[in-house]
Amino acid sequence: MAARAALREVGRRRRSWAAEAGRRCFSGGSAGAAVAETKEGAAAGGKAVNLFTAVNQALHIALDTDPRVYVFGEDVGFGGVFRCTTGLADRFGKNRVFNTPLCEQGIAGFAIGLAAMGNRAIAEIQFADYIFPAFDQALKSFFCRSPFARLHFFKYFFLFPIYIVNEAAKFRYRSGNEFNCGGLTIRTPYGAVGHGGHYHSQSPEAFFCHVPGLKVVIPRSPREAKGLLLASIRDPNPVVFFEPKWLYRLAVEEVPEEDYMLPLSQAEVIRKGSDITLIGWGAQLGVLKEACEDAAKGEPCPEELDILLYLVLNRSDTSKWQDGVSCELIDLKTLIPWDKETVEASVKKTGKLLVSHEAPITGGFGAEIAASIAERCFQRLEAPVARVCGLDTPFPLVYEPFYMPTKNKVLDAIKATVNY
């Protein structure tokens, strides 16, 4: 009896949420609602904050400057499990910042319908591992704003599970640019966290990179997170915004308090070099940066004896490593569409490329980068493109350190590549 009562309560809450959601969908700000003027880029300085606080600042600014913005997801009204939405419901009200049922299909479906009606929907999927139901199913919504569409909103919300890749990503294309879903931003934390196991540690960015019409963005730091998230929210295309949960509290830097945006699809060279190009995104940039610093020293550390043994057994020339390796490090930031020109220019200078990400190596986005650079820079490459990625296994709990693309694995690949 208790179970039946609980199920009835869940159903009642879901119907209540759906009814309220429908009213919000059609009573929000008009498509031409005024938006405050923003700046491209940001001035130096600011207050030192961590990454989740920077995300919170971006959401505050988005809600404050545009009445069409809505933020919703599981536990969002309470601040979220990572506290990224803390204080939003208190300041902007439960009509614009609200909780949803434990149903990723419904979250994504409602977000698509809300965005299709001219609003800016910021949907939070609590963990990227659970984005796959949202990947499979979404709202089947009309392309018009007629009373008939409003009358049948709930019917289509519940009865038409449609592939998200066939809806959000293709609205603009299949309507001949007459309608679009550009107001959609899906936020979700991804990647390892140290104790998440195979249900809270995955990196599914490559799945969405295969979908024309979507943009995929991953920040590496608090300053990047704020600027890129605001740019994603205001971009005229649907965006999947992955947030590295490992850095939510660990990454701290000065972030401007002002409203600013960082350009999408523009990679950044964060370390100049001449011997090899390293590419990554998100939390993996920290690993690559440490590898660059150790490679530049030239003198191997005691923990790297296994790498020296590798070089000796393969009779490789160690002179380059003893002199130090100058690594150029690039943060891709936007995976789709990615900045091929910046990467190509760097590889033509160094002649070597290494790509690293947490996701499994097979089918990872690093494979796309390797193939594209091989096509564009084949005659300038002095060694095969190296990939240092996660293993082709389910994400382990106890053996996470062995699964991860660690600094020593990156150093191993750098040495093998520069001495090829």
- Contacts of residues 40-44 at CB distance under 8 Å and 24 or more positions apart, as own/partner, are 40/260, 40/261, 40/263, 41/227, 41/260, 41/261, 41/262, 41/263, 42/223, 42/227, 42/256, 42/258, 42/260, 42/262, 43/256, 43/258, 43/260, 44/254, 44/256
Task: Please tell me the distance from the alpha carbon of residue 17 to that of residue 6, in angstroms, as a whole number.
Answer: 16
* Residue in 185, 66, 204 with CA at minimum distance from that of residue 128: 204
Strand-pair category, 327-331 with 268-271 = antiparallel
Task: Please tell me the distance from the alpha carbon of residue 155 to that of residue 402, in angstroms, as a whole number.
Answer: 49
Strand-pair category, 252-255 with 47-50 = antiparallel
Sheet holding 353-360, edge to edge: 268-271, 327-331, 276-280, 353-360, 386-390
Give the three-state DSSP class for 223.
helix
Work out the angle at residue 114's Cα, subtended by the Cα atoms of residues 110 and 115, and round it to the nearest 5 degrees: 120
CA dist 225 → 65, 219, 250 (Å): 18, 5, 14
SS (H, E, C) 276-322: EEEEECCCHHHHHHHHHHHHHHCCCCHHHHHHHHHHHHCCCCCHHHH
CA dist 269 → 272, 327, 350 (Å): 7, 11, 13
* Residue in 408, 352, 414, 413 with CA at minimum distance from that of residue 380: 352
What are the backbone dihedrals phi and psi of residue 278, each rounded to the nearest 5 degrees, phi first?
-115, 135
Q: Which residues pair with 252 in a beta bridge?
A: 50
Q: What length does the chain have? A: 420
Q: Which residues pair with 356 in a beta bridge?
A: 388
Active site residues: 104, 200
Structure token pair of residue 184: 């959609």
Sheet holding 239-244, edge to edge: 97-99, 69-73, 120-124, 184-190, 239-244, 215-217, 334-336
Residue with tokens 């610093």: 293
CA dist 341 → 117, 237, 345 (Å): 36, 22, 6
